[in-house]
A and B are shown apart, each in its own frame.
Chain A
Amino acid sequence: MNEKNISILVQRQRSTRRAATIFLAPVAILMMVYIFYPIISTFITSTYKWNGISAAKEMTGLENWITLIKDTSFWIAFKNNLVIMVLSIVIQIPLGLALATFLDFGKKKLTIFKVIWFIPLLMSSVAIGFLFTYALATNGGMISTISKFFGGGNIDLLGNPKTALLTVIAIICWQFTPFYMVYFMAAFTNIPYDVFEAARIDGATRGQYFWRIALPLLVPSMKSAAILSMVGSLKYFDLIYVMTGGGPGTSTELMATYMYKQSFKTFNMGYGSAVAGGMFILITMVALITMKLLNGKKQEV
């Protein structure tokens, strides 16, 4: 009796395992071919000097990596990524939260605001890049026209190394703030209505409800929004590649644009792979550190 049960159990386990293998096989194959193998391959290519076309590959060991560590352009790019990351979090999340709060207070009456605020998120980064390249053109662009209206001269925001990065960040915020807005709107609706009602019965004003009750309840949502924004900022590519190509100089260079230019413009595939590898390591490190920090805090509470 007992033995029979055990054998049935073993059989079931075996059939479960077989079914699991079949169900997981397609994902396993695709991820191996398009994610895991390429990561390994990139690290291998990074030890060669290779232009990507000719069969001649020269094994150079760690030379590319040593160059990378000494390459100020790469570190400037990383610093730019960090600036984008910090400013994105500092601007987009509070702004998104403010917009969401406004919509939450106004309920249905303010739908028109919601609809128009959302539109930038519908456009592709490439299209936004082109739109703003023209909208911010020095001659006859929007900003120059407004500045002339107030008696100023033409303004070249993207061509000036001092303002280019900040301008690009402003555009990134313009694009992604709606994302955090709808994200926080969802978070607001996740707060049970009872909580709001109880607070009102106790005589709390709307403002008090927001600052003392809703905001603390939104902290976990803000944390995950920050993680999202962070990982996104470190991978950023499309918009900047289209608008400035990393320039003027290295003022808007990012790790991804630098990698792309090294690999597909100057055809230093070996060195481009090292840049990609460095980018991968840095992003993983930053992501792990922040997650640890945020989770560590959670445990204290």
Chain B
Amino acid sequence: MREITFIEAVREAQAEALIADDRVFIMGQEIGSYGGVFRATQDFVRRFGEHRVRDMPIAEQSMLGAGVGAAVMGMRPIVEVMFMDFVACGMDAIVNHAAKMRYMSGDQLRAPMVIRTQGGSGTHHGSQHSQTLESWFLHVPGLAVVVPSVPQDVKGLFKTSVELEHPVLFVEHRALYRTTGTVTDPVAPIPLGQGVVRRRGDDVTVAAVGKSVHQALAAALEMEEEGVSVEVIDLRTLVPMDVELVLESLSHTHRLVVAHEAVERGGWAGELVARVVAEGFDELDAPPLRAGSKATPIPFARELEAAMISDERLIARRIRESLDLAEYSA
């Protein structure tokens, strides 16, 4: 076991993929001699050459589109979209091309590519550099959506993602980049669609991914002082989504809060809640609640951001509401 940072895990995961498979190459802006704006490809040009670590012009459509074209010809591109907000610029390549190639072609073409990106609030980058947009991709059949929360999962999920015969959105929260965690050597591939219980508890289940998992754990600590026992589930991937694990947890907690930094309106929590209500209605003692961000763009000023973003305080509040509602309904 070693302790490494989240960004080191991202770097190791990519390097291991480049070493393991010569079909793998990386495209992105500033990823070459600069080493990536978050250092995700530091030293890669020296190790793997400019041919496989390809600096791109600022042109997301062609970057993602050329990734699709290379993937259908048998390559395994890793495409780094520097900020998640910028996926909007290359959305056509992801939604209309990558996601559909295999299906439309009757399985003659496949687009196995990993689209790596990072997003999230907390660094005061303003409205166009802070969004959490993974929910967009749940709505497009044909894409896997992976949102790791710890270094071990970064490596294990990346290994599976790079080998998957479908395109993958691999979403990182930049606030996690300097967090640390232990990793095994080597890290075994983690199947997509398998969540994990991060903390056992009896009263309320909180389901989350990425940074929100850490916030849910912080909220659980806070609730512990109030005598409330919170179970925290890290879904790890949103497509596929481990609804089974959530239902299993609800069979003893009977209360659910779904936490994400994405805007609550139209966010993926709604999908999970709908599934839980449809498949586990009898287990519920209270209405499932969401802890998402308010429906505004993300503002610059600290005080403004705090007023709209989903965080551990909001998660704790939703946990209390869930308990109150349960009491009320009982």
Chains A and B belong together in one complex: no
Q: Which residues of B contact A (CB under 8 A)?
A: none
Q: Which residues of A contact B (CB under 8 A)?
A: none
